[in-house]
Amino acid sequence: MNDFKNKTLSIAGSDSGAGAGIQADLKTFSSLGVYGATVITAVTAQNTVGVQDVVMMSGDFVSEQINSVMSDIKPSSIKTGMLGNSEIINAVCKSLEGNNYQDLVVDPVMIAESGDSLIDDSAISSYINKLFPLSTLVTPNIHEAEKIAKIKINSEDSLIKCGRLILDMGANRVLIKGGHWKEDIAEDFLFSEGEMIRFSETKINTKNTHGTGCTLSAAITAFLSMGDSVEFSIRKAKEYITNSLKYSYSIGEGNSPVNHFHKK
């Protein structure tokens, strides 16, 4: 008999450099002691310097992967990463609506580290109208939150307004990742109906930051699969990513990944 507990699924792109995407998610799941299954939405030629090429999967093939995993392994907690276009987002939503799970963490990958947009307006609309309402938690960084809410975040008041706007769009909870918000503190903001909670950790001064967003959302997903609350899962995931940054080391010429298997 399949038990929901401690089984996760990542629906995301493959990073050939293994610092972000599916590879980062699997490392995070393994490090935290949960089983991780995968659905590949895209394959990238990528290293620490940048992305050289991307091949997107078809929506039909993404659906086939989801149904294959869900019909047998039955993960309780699911996260999405790079979905790429509205066809894939719509396929994910349709497939998830036909399956049973407990939590969905949506990491809306929209902006490359270079600042370039990774998806078009129709994909953003699919995120908002179809995927956000299915989610337990949406985890945009500041740039992604700006793109979703269509407002500029240049103060704490504007950040709070942005978080509440995304809630009004249908998300159940929103975690705006404020890693660039303050000089010495990595502060994130969780918005839910009628409440805002801050999560703060000392900022680690390192260029080994590739995959931080993927790793944080994967860690939250892992802790949710263990039965932890959303708030407690975020607190534990923040501690995990802080140490992953603290004990990271350089492996390439660009922005190296975090150390998923760090030892405190």
The CA distance from 199 to 193, in Å, is 17
21 is catalytic: no
User: Could you tell me if residue 213 is inside a domain?
Assistant: yes
Question: What sign results for the dihedral spanned by CA atoms 41, 42, 47, 49?
Answer: negative
The CA distance from 160 to 196, in Å, is 8
* Active-site residue, from 59, 177, 179, 238: 177
* Active-site residue, from 13, 19, 84, 213: 213
Per-residue pLDDT tens for 136-181?
A: 999 999 999 999 999 999 999 999 999 999 999 999 999 999 866 6
211 is catalytic: yes
Per-residue pLDDT tens for 184-228?
A: 888 999 999 989 999 999 899 999 999 999 999 999 999 999 999
3-state class (DSSP) for residue 256: coil
User: Could you tell me if residue 32 is inside a domain?
Assistant: yes
The CA distance from 116 to 118, in Å, is 6
> What string of DSSP letters covers 152-177?
---SHHHHHHHHHHHHHTT-S-EEEE
177 is catalytic: yes
pLDDT, position 4 = 53
The CA distance from 50 to 166, in Å, is 30
User: Could you tell me if residue 257 is inside a domain?
Assistant: no
The whole domain housing 121 covers 7-246
Name residue, tokens 């992305």: 51
User: Could you tell me if residue 254 is inside a domain?
Assistant: no
* Active-site residue, from 214, 215, 221, 242: 214
* Active-site residue, from 8, 212, 215, 221: 212
Q: How confident is the model at residue 3 (pLDDT cuts 50, 70, 90)?
A: low
pLDDT, position 116 = 59
Per-residue pLDDT tens for 109-148?
A: 987 665 556 788 899 999 999 999 999 999 999 999 999 9
* Burial of 183: CB neighbours in 10 Å, binned 0-12, 13-18, 19+: exposed
pTM beyond cutoff 0.85: yes
213 is catalytic: yes
User: Could you tell me if residue 259 is inside a domain?
Assistant: no
User: Could you tell me if residue 260 is inside a domain?
Assistant: no
Q: How confident is the model at residue 182 (pLDDT cuts 50, 70, 90)?
A: low
User: Could you tell me if residue 252 is inside a domain?
Assistant: no
What's the number of domains the chain is made of? 1
What's the rounded mean pLDDT across residues 26-37?
97
Q: How confident is the model at residue 1 (pLDDT cuts 50, 70, 90)?
A: very low
The CA distance from 41 to 30, in Å, is 21
User: Could you tell me if residue 94 is inside a domain?
Assistant: yes
pLDDT, position 186 = 87
212 is catalytic: yes
CATH number of domain containing 14: 3.40.1190.20
* Active-site residue, from 41, 209, 215, 221: 209
The CA distance from 179 to 185, in Å, is 8
